Amino acid sequence: MASSSRGALPRIVIYHQTIHDPNGRHISILPLISQPGVAVTHIIVAALHINDDPNGLTLNDHAPADPRYINLWAELRIAQASGVKVLGMLGGAAKGSYTRLDQDHSSFEAYYAPVYNVIKERGLDGIDLDIEEAMSLGGVIRLIDRVRSDFGPDFLITLAPVAAALLDVRRNLSGFDYEALEVMRGSQIAWYNTQFYCGWGDASTPIMYEMIVARGWAPEKVVIGLVTTAENGAGFVPWELLRANLTLLNFQFSRFGGVMGWEYFNSLPGGKDKPWEWAQRMTSLLRPGDAAGLGEPFATESTRTAGAETTDMSKTLSLGVQVADPDLGTSADVPVPADFDYFSDFSAGTDD
């Protein structure tokens, strides 16, 4: 259902990577705009990968122009016409894309060209930089500057750090310091799709989000990333608990950034039969004005699942705001979680 307030906070963002079922049938995202009480603001199609051949960019395992994606691109156009912004996710757990972009000028130009082309050809509204490999701060700044120069001031640039990286540069998959990046290029970054799962964050309580804001991050720029089912990664939070936490944060921060879900095709509570219900429930909880007639948030199907704001990051950092660590001096450092792999679209080599 199209909404006149799609761009308003809090955002409801959903990633879409598993595009076909095991039998090769297309998984439609049209219910996200046709079902009542759904106000998804952004869809991020995943994942674009830069490969050894500069001209061999792929969407998961196939070229973006492969016929298997005809329905996907057509539906995303419909979503855009309905007021939903569509971004492309670059990178993810399949490493290599950013290593190739983080080289000398000529190599950067060669590997950036197909990214530019797919954005133009598909009319994307933005790009999500999911950097899960070491990249230099200079390298990511060069990429952001180039994208902004090529696509103008209204083009959305987002990043997808793990939540721990916003608190401690050592707990980081990307290599560079996100606080330094925010100080240097925060004006060019729309928001952060922050991963509160897979051992890198905890969405079962509001504490970690509160700590991130207390450190100086503007709440409107921090979107809480969730796995939409335990099948998509560790750290799934049961609905009733999630409901309480998000209600509190939405009340506590008048410019709460919103939520993102990884990923669409099997989202609970509806699962593979009705994956849009995750977005429907989030709409009812966070954007009740866009969910007229849906009823009390999470009031049904709950048994189907287991179990002062800051707006200027650079000023806050310059004041040296510190985050209290209740375990400081009493225990060893929290171990860094082991690498993990996503397997989506039911084909080998496809990763977030």
Q: What digits encode the pLDDT tens for the residues 255-293?
A: 999 999 999 999 999 999 999 999 999 999 999 988 754
Tell me which H or E stretch contains 259: strand 258-262
Among the ranges given (4-8, 217-221, 228-232), the one the predictor scored with the smallest mean pLDDT: 4-8
Among the ranges given (58-72, 75-89, 173-187, 280-294), the one the predictor scored with the smallest mean pLDDT: 280-294
Q: For Cα atoms 174, 180, 181, give the angle at the middle one, nearest 5 degrees.
A: 65
The share of the chain scoring above pLDDT 90, in percent, equals: 78
Judge whether residue 112 has pLDDT over 50: yes
Judge whether residue 305 has pLDDT over 60: no
Which of 346, 297, 279, 284 lies closest to 30, judged by CA? 279
Is cis: bond before 161, omega within 30 of 0? no
Among the ranges given (118-132, 142-156, 165-179), the one the predictor scored with the smallest mean pLDDT: 165-179
* The CA-based dihedral angle spanning residues 230, 231, 235, 239, taken in that order and rounded to the nearest 10 degrees: -30
Band (pLDDT 50/70/90 cuts) for residue 349 is very low
Higher-scoring residue by pLDDT: 152, 307: 152
Stated pTM of the model: 0.83
Residue 7 is predicted with a pLDDT of 62
> Cα separation of 240 and 285, whole Å?
11
Residue 292 is predicted with a pLDDT of 58
Higher-scoring residue by pLDDT: 111, 343: 111
Tell me how far the alpha carbon of residue 253 is from its chain's centroid.
Answer: 20
Which of 182, 177, 188 lies closest to 153, judged by CA? 188
Judge whether residue 308 has pLDDT over 70: no
Report the pLDDT averaged over residues 293-297. Answer: 41
Residue 6 is predicted with a pLDDT of 57
In Å, what is the CA distance from 248 to each residue of 130, 258, 285, 299? 28, 12, 11, 17
Give tens-digit pLDDT for 157-205: 999 999 999 999 888 999 999 999 999 999 999 999 999 999 999 999 9
Written as one string, the DSSP assignment of 209-231 is: HHHHHHHT--GGGEEEEEESSGG
Mean pLDDT of the chain: 85
For the chain, the domains span 11-318
Which pair of tokens denotes residue 224? 């809480």
Residue 80 CB coordination number (10 Å): 16
The CATH fold assigned to 11-318 is TIM Barrel (3.20.20)
Which pair of tokens denotes residue 122? 């598909």
Which of 189, 170, 166 lies closest to 179, judged by CA? 166
Judge whether residue 130 has pLDDT over 90: yes
Q: For Cα atoms 179, 236, 272, give the angle at the middle one, nearest 5 degrees.
A: 120
> Cα separation of 161 and 16, whole Å?
18
Is 201 in contact with 168 (CB distance < 8 Å)? no
Residue 125 CB coordination number (10 Å): 19
* Token pair 């050809």: residue: 121
Which of 178, 181, 179, 215 lies closest to 321, judged by CA? 215
